[in-house]
Structure 1
Amino acid sequence: MLEPTRRSKTAPARPVAVRDVGEVLRVLDADPVASCMIAARVQEFGIDSRTGAGELWSRGGPADSLCFSGANLVPLRGDQQALRAFADRAGRWPRVCSSVVGRQELALPLWEMLLPAWGPARELRADQPLLALARPAAARADGGVRRVRPDEIDRYLTAAIAMFIEEVGIDPRTGDGGRGYRRRIKNLIESGRAWARFEDGEVVYKAEIGALSRRTGQIQGVW
């Protein structure tokens, strides 16, 4: 009599406990450029998911595996079994992230595992360099680029929406009419992290410090 083969069950990914914040920060600090966005959130809000700043998952402990789930799904550390656990947890509910991002060796396998549940990608960027500058740029600065003022939000927002659609492929106003995206842009402007060049009252260049950890600033939204 033959017995059916038993499949070993992958231990599930679970939310990281608040008491493990020190270990999480050590993991993020080991890769400060690639983890800038997550490090900035953890340093500002901690890891309590009730803050609304996203959730960190692990399978066995942050030193072994770690994944951020929020506006983006970001695998930070883990082997194949950990990635499978992350995919299982992410696929359990309707998708809330707009993109899966991270180091190639983590993000691509995770996406392959999510593909059956989430369907085809809008765009697959298998080779997208992450550039870092550790010293002042050699290029001469454009004196016309300056911080955006709060009263310029409407003109700046027009360019920001155009950039988002061209870069991500979706309209950031979808769902809530743009209230959430406008709130994010307003916060960036008020914190002095939105920069632009205006000509005849229109934005012709823009960029933002989208995330700012204790070690790294992430320049994004360049248009």
Structure 2
Amino acid sequence: MLGTQRELRVLGPADLDQVTGLLSRDPVVNVVTDYRARTTQLHPRWLNGEVLGYFEDDRLTSLCHSAANLIPVMAGRPALEMFAERAAGQGRRCSTLLGPSDQVEVMWDRLSTLWSPARSIRPDQPHLEITGPPLVDPDPFVMVSRPDEVDTLYPACVAMYTEEVGVSPEEHGGASLYRARVAQLVSRGWSFARIEEGRVVFKAEIAAASPHACQVQGVYVAPDRRGEGLGTAGMAAVVDLAMRHVAPVVSLYVNAHNEPARRVYERVGFRHTATFTTIMF
């Protein structure tokens, strides 16, 4: 009796329907890969990387997004081992390895001997979702950011990134690229902020979106304004605006140790649906 035939393939535009069909089995957890697949149509030059498909008996069962972010998707151990072997053979091209903890940990077991030391390992990150109206009143002063506000938004974005990641996005000549990213999110209507007297006191952005869900990133409250409830009301406003204009479900993931942020999201109505691990290089 023949065993299961396993194969790894680099996917392309002809595979898009299969890919989005697989991702739709868990569309909120998979929103980043779904967004990347739809916006690039799986063209490698637009991905600046590749999406790998793992097939069993010619049936697509799991994926790995391999670009700036290395993200395993719905993968069991045989697929994860093959994904890790390919990544090991190519050398590290990503700045982060992230996704559901059980999958990331299998890949990191293989890659850690080659890619260590990681700059930061963040295990047990709660992945949170909200599917209905926020449980608290939205801040009416949180608005969709305008293109003429990019100069005001940019310092807050740099401050948030530096606080969260531990390095400035402007290092190694990255300022122009990061500013372009901020402007891009604003142009899409994916940036939200409360601005007082020319200064951002709360902000957040959408990092990725699909017809099913969107993922929030970059939540920030000015340090001297923390403890006033701006984060809770601000996130309620982001949920309200995102659900009305972007996608029906809002998600994010948060560091396990960030108890203040976790309490904010709980008050707004987010619930814990998965656990992520992020490994940063």
Normalising by structure 2, we get a TM-score of 0.70
Higher relative contact order (CA 8 A, sep 6+): 2
Shift of 1:141: 0.5
Deviations 1:32-91 (A, max 9, x none): 111111111222221111223542012326732210012211000222222122112222
How do residues 4-15 of structure 1 correspond to structure 2 at under 5 angstroms?
A: 13-15=8-10
How do residues 33-182 of structure 1 correspond to structure 2 at under 5 angstroms?
A: 33-52=28-47, 54-60=49-55, 63-182=60-179
Residue pair 2:36, 2:47 contacting (<8 A) in 1 also: no
Structure 1's unaligned 5+ residue stretches are 1-10
Q: Aligned with 2:61: secondary structure? A: coil
Please state which structure has a larger fraction of its residues in strand: 2
* Aligned residues: CA RMSD: 1.9
* 2:19 alignment counterpart: 24
Please state if 1:190 is matched with 2:183. Answer: no
Residue pair 1:45, 1:53 contacting (<8 A) in 2 also: no
For 1:12 and 1:120, the matched residues in 2 are separated by 31
Percent identity over paired residues: 37
Structure 2's unaligned 5+ residue stretches are 1-5, 221-281
Residue pair 1:150, 1:189 contacting (<8 A) in 2 also: yes
Residue pair 1:58, 1:66 contacting (<8 A) in 2 also: yes
Shift of 1:203: 1.0
Residue pair 1:122, 1:169 contacting (<8 A) in 2 also: no
Please state which structure has a larger fraction of its residues in helix: 2
Normalising by structure 1, we get a TM-score of 0.87
Deviations 1:134-161 (A, max 9, x none): 1111210111111222122122111111
Deviations 1:178-212 (A, max 9, x none): 22221111110011110111122111111011111
For 1:52 and 1:146, the matched residues in 2 are separated by 31
| Aligned residue pairs, count | 213
